[in-house]
Amino acid sequence: MKRREFLLATASAAVLPLRAFAAGPFELRAQKVTANILPADTYPASYLQGFNGTVPGPEIRVRLGDTVNVRLVNELDEGTAVHWHGVRLENAMDGVPILTQEIVDPAASFDYQFTPKDAGTFWYHSHYLSHEQVARGQMGPLVIDEVDGPDVDHDIVAMLTDWRFDPDGVLMEDYGSMHDVAHAGRLGNFAKAFLPDVALRIGERVRLRLINASVDRIFPLGFAGLEGRIVAIDGMPLAASRSFDGLVLAPAQRADIIADVTGRVQVFMPSQPDNYVLGEIIAEGEVARRTVEVPTLPPHSVPSPTKVNQELVLTMQGGAMSRGHAGDNIWAFNDVSDLQSAPFASFERGETAKITLVNETSFAHGIHLHGHHFYEVNPDGSMGDLRDTTLVQAGEQRDILCVFDNPGRWMLHCHMLSHSVGGMKTWVYVA
Ligand code: C2O
Ligand code: CU
């Protein structure tokens, strides 16, 4: 097989698992899964790791105000734990081994119960050996519906994923290679958006929830067959919608778009000479298009920053082609690699802090804070987007403002999971 064909092989639209939330504890079984990621007509099924027989795992969807009640059952032969990415929840439910809970051993289970404070697009993923377990498929969508959501005909999730297969279509297991870890992470050779198998008609209005569930890949995105606006970023509604132009999702970032179908829907990575199509949905038939503009979503309830009480600097260091640092792994923050017994910073509950994220390295990093959302500060000093993961390009820096109002021990790490395992992680304490 020619490598080029392999790289450009188009993903067929896959069936996203059914919504799977019931009132009682919903069993989320971490297990080995055999599934087709590559086109099934040419390649064999792959041996993966997912939940409830599927990769991505089942869509968990509740309404704002409802309680998520999930029993994680570990059917793997190694430990695991599940993190609810972007959700402002109680620390004990955050799913981070050692920091917030014990590892869930094989055959053991753990009950996660929390009532999300925000409607929006979130996701769940393993937070144990995550550079391996997420790369094998241990992730899924978590959607919190608004009580009074926007008027759309379809509300669907696109999980963006990135895989590394050998020429026979077998998933490669070279996790944590020094070369990958020290560069841009473990980038795959096949990327795919998992989209549901829905019937779309031209003229219908769709809410598409894009989730970058890849381990290390940054996705620049474009769309065909859709005319609309971005209405939310990292689960949080935008006060004013914006155009699709220049949309980029770093690992773990999300964007919600609301758009009218104008033809066959495609989600692609812009590239030359042809775009790399990540997934598509065929549109058949036609209905009259709505005359009203794309609406904005109901506002969020994240507290606004007040007077800055602490100003901190977090410098990303290490990796290939960078100067050294004093940490004892490939990457470091402020000359310290990996989680130490002391936090990077401590906050009084409700305190506003400004953190200057300085990227001294030769690679981009997507920095994620658990348990909180924060504001990016624009270069002109104005308040930017509310996010839980911010992309800082090589050699650049960005200030963020955060109200640390959620008590507990929260991880702060690069969400390029290969960088995280390579040492780019720390934690903060909120009293
Ligand atoms: Cu999405 Cu620490 O994780
Ligand atoms: Cu990184």
- Ligand 1 atom with least separation from CA of 125: 1
Q: Which two tokens stand for residue 376?
A: 């990016």
- Ligand 1 atom with least separation from CA of 370: 2
Of the listed ligands, the closest to the CA of 333 is: 2
| CA separation for the pair 360, 403 (Å, rounded) | 26
Distance 218 CA to ligand 2 centre (A): 11
- Ligand 1 atom with least separation from CA of 123: 1
Distance 123 CA to ligand 1 centre (A): 10
Residues shown for the chain: 431
Q: Which two tokens stand for residue 374?
A: 């924060």
In this structure, the number of other CB atoms found within 10 A of the CB of residue 20 comes to: 17
Of the listed ligands, the closest to the CA of 317 is: 2
Distance 127 CA to ligand 1 centre (A): 7
DSSP state of 97: B
Distance 181 CA to ligand 2 centre (A): 9
Coil, strand, or helix at residue 135?
A: coil
Q: Which two tokens stand for residue 409?
A: 């021990």
Of the listed ligands, the closest to the CA of 96 is: 1
Amino acid in the structure at residue 1 = M
| CA separation for the pair 326, 277 (Å, rounded) | 42
Distance 214 CA to ligand 2 centre (A): 13
- Ligand 1 atom with least separation from CA of 86: 1
Q: What are phi and psi of 242, to 5 degrees?
A: -140, 170
Of the listed ligands, the closest to the CA of 423 is: 2
Summarize the chain as % helix, strand, coil (round to 5).
5, 45, 50
All residues at 6 or more sequence positions from 90 whose CB lies less than 8 Å from its CB, including other chains:
114, 408
| CA separation for the pair 410, 118 (Å, rounded) | 18
pLDDT tier at 24, thresholds 50, 70, 90: confident
Q: Which two tokens stand for residue 10?
A: 């188009």
168 DSSP β-pair partners:
none
- Ligand 1 atom with least separation from CA of 420: 2
83 DSSP β-pair partners:
125
List, for residues 344-376, the tens digit of each pLDDT value.
Answer: 999 999 999 999 999 999 999 999 999 999 999
Pocket (CB within 6 angstroms of ligand 1): 83, 85, 125, 127, 252, 368, 370, 411, 413, 415
Distance 270 CA to ligand 1 centre (A): 27
Q: Whose CA is nearest to atom 3 of ligand 1?
A: 85
pLDDT score for 23: 57
pLDDT tier at 6, thresholds 50, 70, 90: very low
List, for residues 239-274, the tens digit of each pLDDT value.
Answer: 999 999 999 999 999 999 999 999 999 999 999 999
Q: Whose CA is nearest to atom 1 of ligand 1?
A: 85
Which domains does the chain carry? 14-144 (2.60.40.420), 310-430 (2.60.40.420)
Distance 348 CA to ligand 2 centre (A): 28
Give mean pLDDT, residues 32-53. Answer: 94
Distance 370 CA to ligand 1 centre (A): 7
Of the listed ligands, the closest to the CA of 183 is: 2
- Ligand 1 atom with least separation from CA of 413: 2
| CA separation for the pair 392, 383 (Å, rounded) | 16
pTM of the entire predicted model = 0.94
pLDDT score for 158: 98
Cα–Cα distances in angstroms (integers) from residue 237 to residues 25, 172, 327, 354, 386, in the given order: 29, 38, 38, 22, 9
Mean pLDDT computed over every residue of the chain: 94
List, for residues 195-244, the tens digit of each pLDDT value.
Answer: 999 999 999 999 999 999 999 999 999 999 999 999 999 999 999 999 99
List, for residues 156-183, the tens digit of each pLDDT value.
Answer: 999 999 999 999 989 999 999 999 999 9
